[in-house]
């Protein structure tokens, strides 16, 4: 019997999930789609006309499905995860885990209560061959003892959302929470330690959309430290000119350094004891598919379906991803308070 799957939220990201499952996973039956915004729901129905369509999420909770993909704004992930898990469904939720510390704790407690169900977070970058190669090179000792990790993302503003919820920190948790939790999660994974404390500076000086006191920041400089002593940094701009692939990430250890060259599908590696200044180039092509052409999307869905079918624990279990969201939440708090914040 094929897995019966439902979708809660069919905006840009949710519709991308629908289309990806439709095109890549014939063994999965898309049973139902749900969105409270009629235009989004209409696009989903067009993509999967044989699926049942619901405007009321409660109807989807009670529908004949085995699992759900939740692509709603981050502030209500725990609410819907609790309802679907209580109804016996497996849950694949978009990042972030939640938008507040209490919300993350709720999601963790809910997943623990329903250990017979799979609860995965869509930190798809962990599943990509590209970023896994960095993890493997670190594990193989290619940079020695890791000392520093970093991320630099200079990009344009968020795309339009229904009600501009992503620009309002009450619903998105803030720019760092909604978006950069991806990068914090990767760096946590590479370092293999829990983030301990963070400080940061940032503000909103260029991109104004909702024009209220809760407008998300549009630039930031964040520094953080792990329990094992490794340090990290993140630089963000949301008003940069279009210059191609702007995400840069890297790792420095006592024996070398790794740096992403994503536009080329390459990872550059320098060794401290090398006789040449030229890097070792690792060419790692990957499938970048769906809205935003994200690395690891196909692999993340396959991992979730396999976890449901075989009873496996996914790589992005809530327990594994909570720290990335908590670091992002603490970074937002540090920027607002102007102080060092314990994660």
DSSP character string of 97-137: S-SSHHHHHHHHHHHHHTTTS-EEE--GGGGSHHHHHHHHH
Confidence at 101, pLDDT banded by 50, 70, 90: very high
Q: What is the mean pLDDT of residues 162-171?
A: 92
* Residues 170-204: tens digit of each pLDDT: 999 999 999 999 999 999 999 999 999 999 999 99
- CATH fold, domain 3-122, is Rossmann fold (3.40.50)
8 A C-beta contact, residue 181 and residue 264: no
CATH top-level class of 125-297+322-342: alpha beta
* Residues 107-141: tens digit of each pLDDT: 999 999 999 999 999 999 999 999 999 999 999 99
* Residues 137-162: tens digit of each pLDDT: 999 999 999 999 999 999 999 988 98
% pLDDT > 70, the chain: 96
Q: What is the mean pLDDT of residues 77-82?
A: 96
Residues 104 and 223: their CA atoms lie apart, in Å, by: 22
DSSP letter at 51?
A: S
Residues 333 and 1: their CA atoms lie apart, in Å, by: 47
8 A C-beta contact, residue 100 and residue 108: no
Res. 291: pLDDT tops 70: no
Res. 26: pLDDT tops 90: yes
E strand map for 155-271: 195-203, 219-226, 231-237, 247-253, 256-261, 266-271
* Residues 320-340: tens digit of each pLDDT: 999 999 999 999 999 999 999
Please check whether the two domains, 3-122 and 125-297+322-342, share a CATH topology: no
What's the mean pLDDT when you consider all of the chain?
Answer: 94
Res. 243: pLDDT tops 90: no
Q: Please indicate whether residue 332 or residue 285 has the higher confidence score (pLDDT).
A: 332
Q: What is the mean pLDDT of residues 266-278?
A: 88
Model pTM above 0.85: yes
Q: What is the mean pLDDT of residues 248-252?
A: 97
Spans of all domains in the chain = 3-122, 125-297+322-342
């Amino acid at each position: 019997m094929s897995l019966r799957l439902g979708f809660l939220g069919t905006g840009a990201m949710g519709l991308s999930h629908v289309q990806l499952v439709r095109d890549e996973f014939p063994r999965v039956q898309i049973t139902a789609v749900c969105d409270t915004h009629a235009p989004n729901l209409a696009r989903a129905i067009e993509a999967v006309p044989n699926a049942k369509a619901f405007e009321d999420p409660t109807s989807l909770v009670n529908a004949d499905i085995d699992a759900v993909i939740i692509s709603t704004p981050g502030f209500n992930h725990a609410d819907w995860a609790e309802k679907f898990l209580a109804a016996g469904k497996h849950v694949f939720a978009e990042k972030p885990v939640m938008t507040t510390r209490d919300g993350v704790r709720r999601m963790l407690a809910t997943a623990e209560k329903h250990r017979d169900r799979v609860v995965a977070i869509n930190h798809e970058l962990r599943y990509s061959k590209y970023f896994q190669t960095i993890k493997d090179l670190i594990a193989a000792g290619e940079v020695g003892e890791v000392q520093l990790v970093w991320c630099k993302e200079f990009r344009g503003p968020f795309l339009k959302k229904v009600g501009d919820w992503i620009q309002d920190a009450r619903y998105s948790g803030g720019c760092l929470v909604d978006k950069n939790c991806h990068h914090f999660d990767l760096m946590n994974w590479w370092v293999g330690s829990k983030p301990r404390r963070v400080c940061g500076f940032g503000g909103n000086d260029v991109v104004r959309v909702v024009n209220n006191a809760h407008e998300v920041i549009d630039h930031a400089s964040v520094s953080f430290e792990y329990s094992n002593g490794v340090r990290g940094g993140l630089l963000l701009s949301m008003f940069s000119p279009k210059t191609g692939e702007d995400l840069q990430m890297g790792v420095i250890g006592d024996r070398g350094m790794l740096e992403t060259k994503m536009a080329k599908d390459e990872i550059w590696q320098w060794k401290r004891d090398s006789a040449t200044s030229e890097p070792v180039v690792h060419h790692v092509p990957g499938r970048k598919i769906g809205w935003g052409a994200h690395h690891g999307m196909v692999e993340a869905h396959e991992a979730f379906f396999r976890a449901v079918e075989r009873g496996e624990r996914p790589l992005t279990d809530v327990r594994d991803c909570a720290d990335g969201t908590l670091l992002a939440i603490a970074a937002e708090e540090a920027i607002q308070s102007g102080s060092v914040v314990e994660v």
